[in-house]
Amino acid sequence: MGRQIILKSPSEIKKMLVANQIVANTLELVEDNVKPGVSTWQLDQLAEKNCRKQGGVPAFKGYRGFPGSLCVSINEEVVHGIPSKKRILQEGDVLSVDFGVQINGFFGDSAITIPVGRVSDEIADLLKHTQQSLYWAIEAMKIGNRVHDVSKAVQDYIEGYGYGIVRNFVGHGIGSSLHEPPEVPNFYSGRQTPKLHPGMVLAVEPMINLGTEEVKVLKDGWTVITADKKVSAHFEHSIAVTEDGPLVLSRRQNEEF
């Protein structure tokens, strides 16, 4: 990661919108196909096909050797789960799906957590509140605010529910690289952070746990799980700071926001 925040021109933001809209329509397609009995590998295949037919390249595939197009993380898995024919979704599971696309030299990145059939009220609430924390973060992406105002928006809302905010993984700038400065934590470290300027594009991604904030990485070297094995939720959007307010590049058509 270089150190400088790279501001994007309006025409570059348009390219990022194209990438992010492939991400968005792919996540919608995956969501429509999540049901008990489906493997995470099947969802991965579906996503890759949908992406490539629009001219996009799945951004995670081969990234530091990651084998899938999607990151698919079930229940206590937080992020970076590997698609597998052996992982079959069951009623009551939750599935976090993270997807990235590259096209015309720019990246898109977004994630949603999807209930499989009926889930408990406790888990449904975790999903609802994690998504809402992302929306508060987006509202904080105004010119004049700083990156930590975005972080604090997540933290202030989430801490009221007593959930664990994952600290080991954070959001990021995005553009012609998948990960660019600045880091966008989901908590406030007390450190000074950059001001938000028009042309900044951030991937904001709260990872929120029912229990402890502590996580660990499985032996596969990728899958991050909660230390207490309680359920985790993850929502992410790529958002541009503009003179007219935050522009959610990865907004899904079915999204009421």
Between 27 and 86, CB nearer to Mg ion? 27
**Is there binding between residue 93 and Mg ion (CB under 5 A)?**
no
**Is there binding between residue 109 and Mg ion (CB under 5 A)?**
yes
Between 183 and 228, CB nearer to Mg ion? 183
User: Six-digit token pair at 41?
Assistant: 């590998």
Between 6 and 88, CB nearer to Mg ion? 6
Between 11 and 166, CB nearer to Mg ion? 166
CB 171, min distance to Mg ion, A: 6
Closest residue by Cα to residue 159 from 131, 122, 129: 129
CB 87, min distance to Mg ion, A: 19
Choice from 43, 203, 204, 240 touching Mg ion (CB under 5 A):
203
Under 8 Å between Cβ of 34 and 95:
yes
Q: How many residues bind Mg ion (CB under 5 A)?
A: 5
CB 169, min distance to Mg ion, A: 9
Closest residue by Cα to residue 141 from 204, 228, 234: 204
User: Six-digit token pair at 108?
Assistant: 């898109």
Q: Quick one: which segment of 51-59, 148-156, 157-165, 200-208 binds Mg ion (CB under 5 A)?
A: 200-208
DSSP string, 30-70: HHHH--TT-BHHHHHHHHHHHHHTTT-EESSTTGGG---SE
Binding map of Mg ion across residues 219-238, x = CB under 5 A, - = no contact: -----------------x--
Residue 175 DSSP code: S
Q: Quick one: which segment of 2-10, 126-134, 197-205, 209-217 binds Mg ion (CB under 5 A)?
A: 197-205
**Is there binding between residue 78 and Mg ion (CB under 5 A)?**
no
Query: Which residue type occupies 54?
Result: Q
User: Six-digit token pair at 34?
Assistant: 């999540």
**Is there binding between residue 180 and Mg ion (CB under 5 A)?**
no
CB 219, min distance to Mg ion, A: 23
In whole angstroms, give the CA distance from residue 78 to residue 224: 5
In whole angstroms, give the CA distance from residue 15 to residue 106: 7
**Is there binding between residue 98 and Mg ion (CB under 5 A)?**
yes
The gap from C-alpha 186 to its chain's centroid, in whole angstroms, comes to 12
Q: Quick one: which segment of 8-16, 106-114, 147-155, 180-188 binds Mg ion (CB under 5 A)?
A: 106-114
Between 12 and 98, CB nearer to Mg ion? 98
Under 8 Å between Cβ of 124 and 115:
yes
In whole angstroms, give the CA distance from residue 122 to residue 29: 26
CB 145, min distance to Mg ion, A: 20
Q: Which residues are at the interface with Mg ion (CB under 5 A)?
A: 98, 109, 111, 203, 236
